[in-house]
Amino acid sequence: MKIFGFAGWSGSGKTTLVTKLIPELVARGVRVSTVKHAHHSFDIDKPGKDSYEHRAAGASEVMVTSASRWALMHELRDGEEPSIEELASHMEPVDLLLIEGFKTYPHDKLEVYRASVGKPLICLSEPNIVAVASDAPVPKANVPVLGLNDVTGIADFILARTGVKPARGAA
């Protein structure tokens, strides 16, 4: 399973880009999964729901399942945040695992950059940024710059960089 990431400041458009890339890659026959890193505490469960009450009571893991999906919630309690490799080991193998966030983790990433956000370029200090996607020229970038709206070109770049080959017969 190949891993490729997306880094950028809040409001730069990482999620928008990833949600445009997924159907482009899938249409090419690439099996894709994602991991989204959150810098804040988050909860996908709600107080009063049975699964929430199971976790609140101390369960280490709670699985919620139905005929259309399942989700596994794992409580770290006071444990360390797991590595990308450890997280990926819990997922079904696919061709390409897209990681949103984990800005300083040592895997290849595309920086999503908008000057209008008012934050500095990450590629200048993060060696694992291999390209920048921006809505305008980025003369200070020390890596290739791709058009933020060029989803086809970005998909081509990612596939070439990771060595993932689209399935035979896919567009």
Query: Can you list the domains of the chain with their CATH numbers?
Result: 2-42+81-162 (3.40.50.300)
Low-confidence ranges of the chain (pLDDT < 70): 39-42, 168-171
Global confidence as pTM: 0.87
Output the six-digit token pair for 26. 């899938």
Burial class (CB in 10 A: 0-12, 13-18, 19+), 162: middle
- Express each pLDDT in 86-133 by its tens digit: 888 889 999 999 999 888 899 999 999 999 999 999 999 999 999 999
Closest by alpha carbon to 113, among 140, 144, 136?
136
